[in-house]
Structure 1
Amino acid sequence: MTGAAQLIIDFHAHVLHPAVYARTINRNVVSGFGARAMEERPTPDSPRWPLFSKMIIAEVQIADMDARGISHAVIATSTVSQSTFFADAGLAAELDRQANEGIAGWVRAHPTRFTGTCTLPLQDMQRALAELDYATRTLGLRIVNLPAAIGGKYLGEAYFEPLWDAISRLGLVAIIHPDGIKDPAFQVHSLWNAIGQGIEETRAMASLIYEGMLDRHPDVGIVMAHAGGYLPTYIARLDRNATAHPVSMRNISRKPSEYLRNFYYDTVTYDPFVIDIVRQRIGADRIVFGSDYPFGDDDPLALIGACNFDPATYAAITGTTAARLIAGTTQKISGQNLGGE
């Protein structure tokens, strides 16, 4: 990647692995966990092919990037349809390995267009660390694609400490993108998507703050999908608990609002007002452009234009900040063993 200041970098673009998708789609939130059975292997004559092809054929995604003026994309598994959360640890490890190798293949074929992410079999921390070792050292993937929780355990809990230690030690970046709220009530009116993702992002951030992970690993880079859900706009209630419920402060050294700058926030909000709240409350230097490709707007950069940023801020949000995050992940990867199998 050269000329980073002139790049338009999409930090929120999705891919799928056809074989893994076939084994997971009807176990995941987008299909109602199979209640609305979906085609496992769409073909060119399928109604789903126009969308599906954008996530399995790199050249199709690149053509859309070119049409939209996007130079580079951080590609991540669309985990609302291809999460392995339901599987036992062995199967999850097998499927996540396939998915990660698929993403690495896109990056090898088009290194100037894509930066890859990896998913991990979080059901078993030793397997997760082993896959992180393989993904970083062998596949060269730089960013970890994490759900909000696994098995009811949210990301700040002690179970995840070995993972955060490895991410911090290797200078990696994490993207937190929920794989869908599991409560079946949220299937009504597609609330799992409309409000459930924001709820899960809020819970993940609150967990990371309140469990003290950000005190233990203050320099870890974390990008929140969908501008962090509701927490940036609702943070005053957490601050109120510092005095109203002081037990909530037992693991942390600052007010909850003072941790908001420990995160970066992508722009997948569909509302310039929300982006402006993040700018005012947290800072424009913590915002990165995201499109939610191929599910988002046809012209995702128009949303950034509607925010009326000055040219320097626009350039930072659409490219410079993301380029710095990506460049920082290249340090300290080779030659380290993360543990596990």
Structure 2
Amino acid sequence: MSRIDRIDVHQHIVPPLWAQALADRNMTSGGWETPAWGGSHAIAMMDRQGIATGILSVTSPGTVLGGGKEGAGLARAVNEFAAELQRMHPDRIGSFASLPLPDVDAAIAEAIYSLDVLHADGVVVMSNVGGKYLGDPDYEPLWAELDRRGATVFVHPAQPPMTLLEGTPAPMADYVFDTTRTALNMVLNGVMGRYTNMKVILSHGGGFLPFAAYRFSGLKTMLDPSASPESVMVDLKRFYFDTALAASPSALPSLLAFAEPGHVLYGSDWPFANETAGTYFNGFLEEYEGFTDGQAFAIERGSAEVLFPRLARASDGPKR
């Protein structure tokens, strides 16, 4: 695969006020150290890694760091910080706006403001907030609003409501589990079937959803004999997936065998996954020999151009 201008849908922003809010509460992203970050450093990394545009989002635990209403204020501050960076570098930087769930009214208000005023490229939600997963009926008004707008929703994993394995930060193991858990919760509770205009991106290749999808669809009939495996599979296949930490020789074939055409997007997870890790996984993408015609370009850029038309470029010929 030749080096092309990637669109990175899974790249993180670490606003100083957010990093300080975490430090003040002695919080981390599931036991993972918060890395140093700067806008100029992000662009320099993208130049080295062949990334034309990074769509930035705040990682877990998001912007709701305690009780009360402070989550809405922190979300607004984070989103305005990202929007300013996007205004300065519109071709290089995009953003997914943070929403202060589980406060649904505040989340809807922030989504409207961020999409209409800040011109965010979509929104980011954590896979669970305080143990409440994304298929929860309380979230229906949010999905209805995002679906009405045909919005793009980026789902980032969070630490599940369970004790960490000793010596094992949540990003090592629990994040892939929690992504899978919330995606299945959305499907079994009908969210993906009812709201078909919004586009939902699952981080890290969807956890182990592609590998276990047929298990999920087959066992659903034991819980509900009126359901068919095919109907469950339709909703599972509505998801989009990013390749962050998921482009390995064992994971990539499963992802490509499951995902619908155009539903796999490039992701780096920088800076929480450092540049050494990014180079490692980029190498798998660049060396993979199983791509069909145009599939490599679709993953690295073409499919994201469809989701984010402002980033589309005129075609310059056939792509491998």
TM-score bucket of the superposed structures, by smaller chain: 0.7 to 0.9
Matched residue type, 2:58: T
1:328 Cα deviation from its structure 2 partner: 8.1
In the alignment, the residues of structure 1 paired with residue 26 and residue 192 of structure 2 have an alpha-carbon distance, to the nearest angstrom, of: 33
In the alignment, the residues of structure 2 paired with residue 200 and residue 228 of structure 1 have an alpha-carbon distance, to the nearest angstrom, of: 10
The answer on 1:282 being equivalent to 2:279 is no
Q: Which runs of 5+ in 2 are unaligned?
A: 313-320
Matches within 5 A, 1:240-319: 240-246=218-224, 249=227, 254-268=230-244, 269=246, 271-294=248-271, 295-296=273-274, 297-299=277-279, 300-308=281-289, 309-310=291-292, 312-319=294-301
In the alignment, the residues of structure 1 paired with residue 121 and residue 250 of structure 2 have an alpha-carbon distance, to the nearest angstrom, of: 31
In the alignment, the residues of structure 2 paired with residue 73 and residue 20 of structure 1 have an alpha-carbon distance, to the nearest angstrom, of: 19
In the alignment, the residues of structure 2 paired with residue 254 and residue 64 of structure 1 have an alpha-carbon distance, to the nearest angstrom, of: 43
Name the counterpart of 2:315. none
Name the counterpart of 2:105. 126
Over the aligned positions, Cα root-mean-square deviation in angstroms equals 2.5
The answer on 1:11 being equivalent to 2:25 is no
Compared with structure 1, are the counterparts of its residues 92 and 261 closer, same or farther at alpha carbon in structure 2 (3 Å cutoff)? same
Larger helix proportion, structure 1 or 2?
1
Larger RCO (CA within 8 A; separation ≥ 6)? 1
Compared with structure 1, are the counterparts of its residues 233 and 112 closer, same or farther at alpha carbon in structure 2 (3 Å cutoff)? same
Compared with structure 1, are the counterparts of its residues 243 and 31 closer, same or farther at alpha carbon in structure 2 (3 Å cutoff)? closer
What is the aligned counterpart of 2:147 among 154, 159, 168? 168
In the alignment, the residues of structure 1 paired with residue 230 and residue 137 of structure 2 have an alpha-carbon distance, to the nearest angstrom, of: 20
Name the counterpart of 1:189. 167
1:135 Cα deviation from its structure 2 partner: 1.0
2:12–2:270: 8 Å Cα contact kept in structure 1? yes
| Secondary structure at 1:244 match in 2 | helix
Kindly provide the CA deviation profile for residues 83-128 of structure 1, in whole angstroms up to 9, marking residues without a partner as x: 2333234110111111111110110110010111111111311111
Percent identity of paired positions between Structure 1 and Structure 2:
25
What is the aligned counterpart of 2:41 among 60, 66, 69? 60
1:7 Cα deviation from its structure 2 partner: 3.5
In the alignment, the residues of structure 1 paired with residue 30 and residue 60 of structure 2 have an alpha-carbon distance, to the nearest angstrom, of: 12
1:301 Cα deviation from its structure 2 partner: 2.5
In the alignment, the residues of structure 2 paired with residue 79 and residue 242 of structure 1 have an alpha-carbon distance, to the nearest angstrom, of: 30
1:276–1:307: 8 Å Cα contact kept in structure 2? no
1:142–1:329: 8 Å Cα contact kept in structure 2? no
Name the counterpart of 1:20. 18
In the alignment, the residues of structure 2 paired with residue 22 and residue 248 of structure 1 have an alpha-carbon distance, to the nearest angstrom, of: 51
Compared with structure 1, are the counterparts of its residues 110 and 214 closer, same or farther at alpha carbon in structure 2 (3 Å cutoff)? same
1:241–1:248: 8 Å Cα contact kept in structure 2? no
Name the counterpart of 1:103. 82
Name the counterpart of 2:93. 114
Matches within 5 A, 1:143-158: 143-158=122-137
2:221–2:229: 8 Å Cα contact kept in structure 1? no
The answer on 1:236 being equivalent to 2:218 is no
In the alignment, the residues of structure 2 paired with residue 31 and residue 158 of structure 1 have an alpha-carbon distance, to the nearest angstrom, of: 26
Kindly provide the CA deviation profile for residues 250-283 of structure 1, in whole angstroms up to 9, marking residues without a partner as x: xx99532222320111112151321111111224
Would you say how many aligned residue pairs link Structure 1 and Structure 2? 302
2:64–2:70: 8 Å Cα contact kept in structure 1? no
Name the counterpart of 1:223. 201
In the alignment, the residues of structure 2 paired with residue 238 and residue 190 of structure 1 have an alpha-carbon distance, to the nearest angstrom, of: 27
Matched residue type, 2:125: L
TM-score, length-normalised on structure 2? 0.86
Shift >6 Å, 4+ stretches: none
1:88–1:123: 8 Å Cα contact kept in structure 2? no
Compared with structure 1, are the counterparts of its residues 20 and 273 closer, same or farther at alpha carbon in structure 2 (3 Å cutoff)? same
Q: Which runs of 5+ in 1 are unaligned?
A: 1-5, 39-47, 331-341
2:127–2:155: 8 Å Cα contact kept in structure 1? yes
1:16 Cα deviation from its structure 2 partner: 1.1
Compared with structure 1, are the counterparts of its residues 173 and 125 closer, same or farther at alpha carbon in structure 2 (3 Å cutoff)? same
Compared with structure 1, are the counterparts of its residues 29 and 63 closer, same or farther at alpha carbon in structure 2 (3 Å cutoff)? closer
